[in-house]
Structure 1
């Protein structure tokens, strides 16, 4: 039987209107952006390496100005070295380019006239400098989103509205990424391979992203996203790869940064970052502390069709708190053995303590209005987490241009001890004050998670235009979950071990992979990237309550990408990759989680991996004031993993939720990203995604096929008030989407951020107002032949945070300021 889910008419009309408004906005902005004015453009390159010079400062002055006290315009070069100075009046100009490690480059008497209104300088060479400077501080803003052939890069520092938050807060505000109420992270609606500094981490080693909530946003440099990564990357993650790069000391001399912050309900955060860099060594250290408090609400209503007892209807209300105390210490160093060889060491230690008391009321009745039985459950849950990570990285560049070798080995150890004290009170029928029975239980869940990464990558140039990359990677996971349950015995007045509810689950997984990648340029316009990755998985698992099982499998993962460069700042790319989603141990563990006795969760040791074929066509266009990044994508997945709810045959009041391989899924859609720099004081970036998804789950239930269209939108707008003050407003909306057994409700929120610099820009004050209208919550509606259910989950999200940051360090400062334009160098 095909199940159709319909939204109500008013909601449907509102969505259509909002969809029309957004599409009209995008088209209007594109029309505005296509209008060309007088401009100067070009590309900075290093003449020795022939590589682009990134993030150099470009200043434009009136020709012949001796003191250069006022700049006509300024810009920063992109990742490919290109720059554009738009909206110029006719006249002659002098151009000055500055970048750390390079000599100043000056081009004089550049003529912008009616004969040449758009002057293209082509390649501008910058000579490397032999002078060692302590630091050059560039007073120019990097765009929040930057596009490249692999995907997009998001600069975390530019996200003002997430100051004082966590890594999850950063991810929530990135186009294409969704973080649900449990901390699970998805990319374009499906699983993603989450890396930290290019490596698998104990913070992301489980099926949840909850560990990233302990990682402060201030520790993140940028986030790189690739929805169709090459064969060089792990094949895991159907949606692609999310690589979180952490900050480390790069400034020469001795530098420090201190941050303190706080918010309502006793939340606070603080951090200290120090680095010392010389010609041969770079040492860095950081310490972060965060205390977070959040209220949690959950309500659920369910009707069972084939149960005509007093328990036909179940209404549940849960109210709880979550108090987190996190400490993170990061240490590291780089040894520059010579100009071509670097040896690096990195270490991280994290401590997290959580208190999660909650109160659950379950009411049963024969009708929705007649609820005659009540169950009160109080759960005092505590969790202690320890994380230790260490990495050794060796990098060697050879004399031949483009030839290099990278080797890294890392070890991650994570421990988690979760304890629960549960009291369940069942009251007499029709009362809430006459106790019928009481059950006391307590449990301890000890989880150990070890991950080892070994990786070797080698690049060998083939002539001047092509190169071959090859490498090997091993990911070794060793996980052990030991769960002990005790029940209070009224006769002996002691807690007794309950073997039927206890369980030990051991999970060992090894992924051995080798890859080969061929890439290069066929000509000036066409670039290619073809690769093949082979992965062998060796998996064994053992549980006290189930037979041991082994699952070994081998797969080949091809990837391909062709890029056509139409002109500078404009290209088209076509990509394909085969991806895999391997079920994590939480999904495989057959143990029954009975923290909610009427809604039980259980794993599935027979769960197989998802395999996905992913294709994408992307386009990138840069105008004077706008950048446009649209893409079309298509995915077909076999053995889709989703949680499926069924009724317990032995108790009609109990429903069991377990993951299964549902069948196939096909999705396709369009994603649009628009970046605009409207004026000196206003810029924005917006994204819009529209897609269709069809799930064929006839292997789980006869004629169960669901199909739906949905869309997501996000807008971030930034305003500058003078040179030291900025504001940011971020809004996002996620439309309802059909799942195999129901519909996930719409989700939307609006955040505000404020930043002001003072004390010669050494100090920065920040203010953040998250979820201004208190609308961020997650809901669902389900309808099957056995039951109907609806629920809502909300974590406290309306939060006001303030922060203060101060920078300490001796440095040189070079700046080119629009409106002043003086280029100065002074010791501080």
Structure 2
């Protein structure tokens, strides 16, 4: 089979080798930004030899059979046609950049203007434009992520990619201190209006941190690069059905560019309300009978927070830039009234054994901030050096008050005031070197060190102020990771691209539980990567890649503290938990037509020491307990198809569909030396689909419909039921588009709930949770500024100082 594939590839290469490639890029002359979907033709006399449309980077490549003199002609609706005379001699003719100007007369005659692209495809990532997502207007980053293909957000704000929660969340190409413990709260405070686009990087190269076996979701924030100043102010209100009061948000942003200085500042405050609902039935199978526990709860969740972001980039000269930036969120969290009602009885009997209400009131603060400094130096035309240092801090301090009132039986009511805190600081240092050996060959090497120090704890008091010792916990965590990487890339015959990479990491972990040191964990690991891509004529591209990645357990996964917030369902961590490793293979295909784009991919992942949460019934304490364990091996495979089509200037549709196959291997575990658990091997098929339709009714009135469906899927010791939802959005602009009014309805069918079943040898549990119901919001935005196009010289030098905004396999320079 391997020989056959090699022969086919060699035949294709030799066949196309005799052709002559004409390559170039098309840019907007005013904004100096690349334009996609521009029609480019190669003309000789009155005859059109061949043509193509530009991709998301404004690039095109056209093959012709004969050398000679030709004309490159580019045209796009609303722009003046541009031409350039070229002479084709060798295998590749590089036309370079062509700048096209807006045609004011043509624009005045056009009654309906085209919509911007909401998504673009690159072989190493998919990029989704959020500032055109009407369904997220007035919302948060969490709500913007819910509308991204292959991304899922559960009722607690946990994010998964391709059916896996082992995913890294970055902001502007950096982790920014986001962890499993805090990212749900941070993303709830990050305004969707501040986001430019979201990148899905499912198989990053060895250059990037290998954390997250599912890949990286990179949130790119807005930062305008045009000379002068540009800003916006926005205010909105939202109301979820069932909430005690509406939520509201305000935010502002300004960008300033003059001379050698680029500066930006964002500020926003967001307060949201959610009406939560939960119902659960649990059956515990004992030798003499079956014990049933029914639980139903409701609550009005209120949270608010301040979001701040600012920075400045200085162009120190023709070859160097210095950037300083800061990012912060100060979140307030409280739950007005959250009440859970518990009933316990033996099946077949009328009278319950136990019945009580447990009321929770929660308040606290979660400040998060990060500061970074970046220096970029272009040593010469072939060599670049980038240095970066950053510090990130995440803290939380929360009080949780519980009142437990017994409705039957001779029990004393209970009161607990719990305090939980966490302090997490992290330093990161990076150096990245790039050597462009030739136009088609590139060598990259770098070093990366992270130093993390985290402390967490909990305690509690009763209504008399007495300490409750079984709540006491202190957990200290220190981690250091040192990494070196090297990658090499090459391009052959202008069509075949190859990149190989290798990354080595040393990791050391030291922990203490209540002052007692746990065994130190340290190890070396290697993370190779390989990419192979081939561009066929007429807009076809094919890529295959391989990476090895890691998911390191941290926080609540390894903290042995038993969380008694819900006395019937207790969770705790496992200090002996080890990382899980995933080897991933992907095959991607991309086809571009004049108005349509198709992306199709196949992936396979094999995971060793898979981390899963395991549940068991503690019959001595009559409660469910759950912890984490390395449960052996897991296999995942899937097909992912995304199609984007422009049917006219007023309608654009994006449709994505995913099919997953998952197999969990069997495993045996024992907890506390007395609770043996056997996990049966399972395998299942699951799928999901998302539809995004954008409408432009007039030049100033647009709409959007977003729908999604998730089939039933497998989880450890159980399954999750199907889900579906529909969102609607409308936007109207006024005053030459300086003023915009957006209205949207989220969860139109009131169907965004999560039903999950779990079972073991002596229990079965079914839970239905609703994080929020149908909600309505309205947002008013005013944009202002005196934007001007920057000179090409300023634009090119400024780009070298921008933040690294992701991308696993950068294209070679033109």
> Which band: TM-score by shorter chain?
0.7 to 0.9
Partner of 1:400: 381
1:272 equivalent in structure 2: 252
Correspondence for 1:741: 717
In 1, Cα distance between equivalents of 2:619 and 2:721: 29
SS at match of 2:412: strand
Residues 1:772 and 2:748 aligned together:
yes
Q: How does 1:485-634 map to 2 (within 5 A)?
A: 485-488=460-463, 494-544=464-514, 548-567=518-537, 569-634=539-604
Change (3 A) 1:813 1:368: farther
Aligned to 1:669: 638
* Distance change (3 Å), C-alpha of 1:369 and 1:249: farther
CA contact (8 A) 2:233 2:253 kept: yes
CA contact (8 A) 1:230 1:531 kept: yes
Question: Residues 674-713 of structure 1, C-alpha deviation per residue, up to 9 Å, x if partnerless?
Answer: 1111111111111111111010132334471111110011
Instruction: Give the deviation of 1:783 after TM superposition.
Output: 2.5
1:126 aligns with 97
The residue that corresponds to 1:78 in the other structure is: 56
Residue of structure 1 equivalent to 2:48? none
Contact 2:236 2:249 in 1 (8 A): yes
* Structure 1 residue 363: Cα displacement: 0.2
User: Aligned to 2:210, which of 235, 246, 267?
Assistant: 235
1:122–1:296 CA distance, 2 compared to 1 (3 A): farther
Q: Distance in 2 between matches of 1:368 and 1:794?
A: 30
How does 1:168-207 map onto structure 2 within 5 Å? 168-190=142-164, 191-204=166-179, 206=181
Q: Which residue of 2 aligns with 1:332?
A: 311
In the other structure, the counterpart of 1:704 is: 680
SS of the aligned residue for 1:206 comes to coil
TM-score, scaled relative to structure 2: 0.83
Q: Secondary structure at the match of 2:56?
A: coil
- Structure 2 counterpart of 1:343, from 309, 319, 322: 322
Answer yes or no: is 1:800 the counterpart of 2:776.
yes
| Residue 788 in structure 1 maps to residue 764 in structure 2 | yes
| 1:583 and 1:608 in contact (8 A); partners too | yes
Residue 108 (structure 1) shift: 8.8
Q: Matched residue of 1:161: which SS?
A: helix
Q: Give 2:663's match in structure 1, choosing from 691, 694, 697.
A: 694
In structure 2, relative to structure 1, the CA distance for the partners of 1:446 and 1:212 (3 Å cut) is: same
In the TM superposition, residue 345 of structure 1 has moved relative to its aligned partner by: 0.7
User: Of residues 415, 425, 428 in structure 2, which corresponds to 1:450?
Assistant: 425
Structure 1 segments, 4+ long, off by >6 Å, are none
Range with bigger deviation, 188-197 or 290-299: 188-197
Q: 1:253 to 1:53 in 2, by over 3 A?
A: closer
Which residue of the partner structure matches residue 318 of structure 1?
Answer: 297
Specify the SS of the correspondent of 2:461.
Answer: strand
Q: Which residue of 2 aligns with 1:220?
A: 195
Alignment of 1:471-490 (within 5 A): 471-488=446-463
Distance 1:83 1:274, change over 3 A: farther
CA–CA separation in structure 2 for the residues paired with 1:613 and 1:524: 30
8 Å CA contact 1:168–1:213 kept in 2: the answer is yes
Counterpart secondary structure, 2:248: strand
Match of 2:701 among 720, 725, 732: 725
* CA RMSD in angstroms, aligned pairs only: 3.0
Report if aligned partners of 2:285, 2:762 keep a CA contact under 8 Å in 1: yes
Contact 1:54 1:77 in 2 (8 A): no
Residue 248, structure 1, aligned to residue 223, structure 2: yes
- Are the counterparts in 1 of residues 37 and 595 from structure 2 also a CA contact under 8 Å? no
Whether the aligned pair in 2 keeps the contact of 1:207 and 1:586 (CA below 8 Å) is no
CA–CA distance in structure 1, aligned partners of residues 356 and 649 of structure 2? 61
Q: Which residues of 2 match residues 56-67 of structure 1 at below 5 A?
A: none
**DSSP-derived class of the 2:667 partner:** coil
Q: How far apart are the structure 2 equivalents of 1:226 and 1:125?
A: 28
Displacement after TM superposition at 1:571 (Å): 0.6
Per-residue CA deviations over 1:440-498 (Å, capped at 9, x if unaligned) read: 1111111112122211111011223111101111222211112111123xxxxx21112
Specify whether residues 393 and 568 from structure 1 end up closer, same or farther in structure 2 by C-alpha distance, changes over 3 A only.
farther
Distance 1:681-1:239 versus aligned 2 partners, 3 A rule: same
Residue 144 of structure 2 aligns to a residue in which SS? helix
* CA positional deviation for 1:813: 8.4
Aligned to 1:385: 366
Among 746, 750, 761, which residue is 2:737 paired with? 761
CA offset at residue 46 of structure 1? Answer: 8.4
Partner of 1:161: 135
Query: What's the offset of the Cα at 1:337?
Result: 1.1
Contact 1:226/1:241 (<8 A) preserved:
yes
Unaligned segments of structure 1, at least 5 residues: 1-40, 64-73, 85-91, 111-120, 130-138, 430-434, 489-493, 815-828
Q: Could you say which residue in structure 2 is the equivalent of 1:375? A: 356
Q: What's the CA shift string for 1:97-134, capped at 9, x where partnerless? A: 799xxx98722999xxxxxxxxxx986543689xxxxx
Shift of 1:162: 0.6
2:286 to 295, 303, 306: 306
Q: CA deviation at 1:198?
A: 1.5
Structure 2 residue aligned with 1:821: none
Secondary structure in 2 matching 1:437: coil
Q: In the TM superposition, what whole-angstrom CA distance separates every residue of 1:599-618 from its partner, at most 9, and x where no partner exists?
A: 10111111111111100100
Answer yes or no: is 1:261 the counterpart of 2:236. yes
Q: CA deviation at 1:217?
A: 1.1
- The 1-side partners of 2:452 and 2:547 are apart by 25
Q: Where does residue 27 of structure 1 map in the other structure?
A: none
Q: Does 1:809 align with 2:785?
A: yes
Of the structure 1 ranges 560-569 and 764-773, higher mean CA displacement relative to structure 2 is found in 560-569
In the TM superposition, what is the alpha-carbon distance from 1:53 to its structure 2 partner? 6.9
Where in structure 2 are the equivalents of 1:271-290 lying within 5 Å? 271-290=251-270
- Structure 2: gaps (5+ residues): 1-20, 44-51, 63-70, 87-91, 101-112, 240-244, 670-676, 791-814
SS at match of 1:534: strand
1:151 equivalent in structure 2 = 125
Tell me: CA distance 1:59–1:673, structure 2 relative to 1, closer, same or farther (3 Å). closer
- Does the C-alpha gap of structure 1 residues 457 and 681 become closer, same or farther in structure 2, counting only changes over 3 Å? same
- Once the two structures are superposed, the pairs formed by residues 90-109 of structure 1 within 5 Å of their partners are 95=74, 106-107=82-83
**2:156–2:771 CA contact under 8 A, matched in 1:** no
- 8 Å Cα contact 2:297/2:341 also seen in 1: yes
In the aligned structure 2, how far is the partner of 1:355 from the partner of 1:682?
Answer: 42
For the 8 Å contact 2:73–2:81, the answer to whether it is kept is no
Contact 2:229 2:254 in 1 (8 A): yes
Q: Summarize the Cα distance change of 1:801–1:733 in structure 2 as closer, same or farther, 3 Å threshold.
A: same
* Residues 1:695 and 1:590: Cα distance change in structure 2 (over 3 Å): same
Corresponding position of 2:805: none
Counterpart of 1:655 in structure 2 is 624
Q: Within 2, Cα distance between the matches of 1:108 and 1:694?
A: 56
d(CA) in 2 for partners of 1:747 and 1:369? 35
1:60 and 1:148 map into 2 onto residues whose CA distance is 20
Distance in 2 separating the partners of 1:249 and 1:558 = 36
Aligned with 1:238: secondary structure?
A: coil
Q: 2: CA distance between counterparts of 1:371 and 1:290?
A: 47
The answer for the alignment partner of 2:807 in structure 1 is none
Residues 189 and 269 in structure 2, CA contact (< 8 A), matched pair in contact too: no
Aligned-partner Cα distance in 1 for 2:99–2:381: 19
State how far apart, in whole Å, the 1-side matches of 2:632 and 2:271 are.
Answer: 43
* Aligned counterparts of 1:109 and 1:337: Cα–Cα separation in 2: 38
Task: Check conservation: 1:77, 1:83, Cα contact below 8 A.
Answer: no
Match of 2:104 in 1: none
- 147 and 169 in structure 1: CA distance in 2 versus 1, 3 angstrom threshold: same
